[in-house]
Every structure is written in C-alpha cells, then in structure tokens.
C-alpha cells in the first residue's frame, strides 16, 4: 500500500437507510445498516479475490469469535462495534456472504485497498437510492501509523506532523461538505463523525510509552506474517499491523461514535 495514498484509504462511510426505530422491543435501533469503505471496515469481501489485500489467516481474527474472517485486525472493526450497540443480533454480513433476508438488515461492502472514486463515493447517489441517514467518518491521525512513522520519520515528534495536518485539513473540508449536503438534499440527515481527536487522545497518552508499533510481525506490505504470534498486550495495543488499529482502539472509537450517531436516530 503506497504511503502517499493513505489519506484516501482511511475515510469511510456508514449508511443507515429507512426510518429509525428505538430499541424498546428487542429490535435494533435502525432497520438496516449498510457499510462502505476500505480495509478499516472490510469483513471478508477480499477473501476470494486474486490480490494481496486479504487477511483471512491467523493471527488476524485471533480475538474475533469466528477467528480469521478477512477483518484487518485482531477482532472487531468500528462497524462491528456500532452494529452491536445499535442492537443487531449478528455482525453485518459481507457482500459475498449476505443471502436472502439477511440483505434486508444491511450489507458490508467495505474492501481492503479501496479508495475514494467518483463512481463509488458519491453521497448524492446514495440519497437517490433512498438513503436518508448517513454517518460519514473522518480521517484518523494517519501520521501516527507504524507505517508512516517508519517510512517518513518523525523528526523527534510523536508522529509525522505533515500527514496529520493533511488529515485535519481533509476533515475540515469533509465536515463542510456534509453540512452542504444536508442543506441541498431533501430529507437528508447526514452526520460527520469526528474520530481524529478520539484516537489522538489515546495515541498522545499511550504513544509516549512506545506503543505506536505493530502488534504483529509484519511483512514487506505491512500486513501480519501468517501464523506468527502477536504481542501479548493486545488489550493496550493501538495498532494491529502497520496500518490498521487494534480491536482495543476500535472499541473506543466505535463506542464514542455511537453516542454521536444517536443524535440522528
């Protein structure tokens, strides 16, 4: 994965369509949950593709109930956490595995190594297909990934400042774009979810203790080497491999994002 493309690979969109309902009768707070994005949300869409962007092997999934599924970390992703908090009884199915009535609950279209393209990232197109509630999640402190700090160096700082400044600028423009869409699209109820500050808070605290590093042993692509034992302190690790956050960080990000997401439910 080219470092210059990291900025475009870390933003993703969570789409909630149709009318919301509250979890007072054992049902989920929303009827369906559709997920679009890259490897941060991928739950196995790349498993059958002939490319290097798949991770359906140990130690990936070592802490996930079903083991290795194609998720790019040791356990749950942010959408997994959000789905649980929204009241879904099972994780949203990946596109190849969603069958029959399961599709009515939502589909995870996230795919590792995906980017932002005009034909795949237009929120107005989603609106045309009936999406009225969208959560657009901003970019994380990309200058703090193990790949970024190793590739660019930090010049004595905790992270690569130029990459983090680019992420902050991107998020500012993204937030304005979300506001613009809410004003232009009839019935739109879009929300921008800020994760930069959430993650930076923990990086700033734990990073000073030498925890900005991969939990697993990585290959030349920054992905975990198959069957190699990962670090033992996974409950404190910030990053799983050279690019992706650990389940620990996803649990924090997902929980705080859920509280913000409830304002549009």
Active site residue 241: yes
Name the active-site residue from 42, 123, 127, 244.
Answer: 244
Residue 160 and residue 209 in contact, taking contact as beta carbons nearer than 8 Å: no
Distance from C-alpha of 47 to C-alpha of 201, rounded to nearest angstrom: 34
Residue of 38, 63, 80, 241 with catalytic role = 241
Closest CA to 143 of 199, 224, 193, 76: 199
Closest CA to 137 of 4, 5, 258: 258
C-alpha 195/C-alpha 247 separation (Å) is 15
Could you give the maximum distance between any two Cα atoms of the chain, in Å? 55
Query: How far is it, in rounded angstroms, from Cα 77 to Cα 245?
Result: 9
For 243, counting Cβ atoms within 10 Å of its Cβ (0-12 exposed, 13-18 middle, 19+ buried), the class is buried
Return d(Cα 139, Cα 134) in angstroms, integer: 16
| Residue owning tokens 């991107």 | 170
Which residues are the active-site residues?
39, 241, 244
């Amino acid at each position: 994965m080219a470092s210059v493309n990291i900025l475009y690979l870390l933003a993703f969109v969570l789409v909630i369509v149709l009318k919301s309902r509250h979890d007072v009768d054992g049902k989920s707070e929303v009827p369906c949950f559709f997920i679009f994005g890259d490897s941060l949300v991928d739950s196995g869409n790349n498993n059958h593709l002939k490319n290097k962007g798949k991770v359906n092997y140990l130690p990936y999934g070592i802490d996930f109930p079903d083991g290795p599924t194609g998720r790019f970390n040791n356990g749950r992703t942010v959408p997994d956490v959000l789905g649980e908090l929204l009241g879904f009884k099972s994780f949203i199915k990946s596109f190849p595995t969603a069958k029959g009535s399961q599709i009515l609950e939502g589909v995870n279209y996230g795919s590792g190594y995906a980017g932002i393209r005009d034909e795949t990232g237009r929120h107005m197109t989603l609106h045309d297909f009936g999406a009225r509630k969208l959560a657009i999640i901003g970019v994380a402190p990309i200058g703090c990934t193990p790949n970024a700090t190793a590739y660019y160096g930090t010049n004595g700082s905790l992270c690569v400042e130029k990459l983090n400044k680019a992420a902050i600028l991107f998020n500012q423009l993204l937030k304005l774009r979300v506001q613009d869409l809410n004003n232009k699209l009839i019935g739109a109820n879009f929300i921008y979810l800020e994760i930069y500050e959430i993650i930076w808070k923990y990086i700033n605290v734990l990073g000073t203790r030498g925890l900005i590093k991969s939990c697993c042993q990585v290959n030349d692509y920054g992905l975990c080497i198959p069957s190699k034992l990962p670090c033992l302190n996974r409950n404190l690790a910030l990053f799983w491999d050279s690019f992706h956050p650990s389940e620990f960080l996803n649990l924090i990000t997902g929980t705080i994002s859920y509280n913000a997401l409830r304002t549009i439910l």
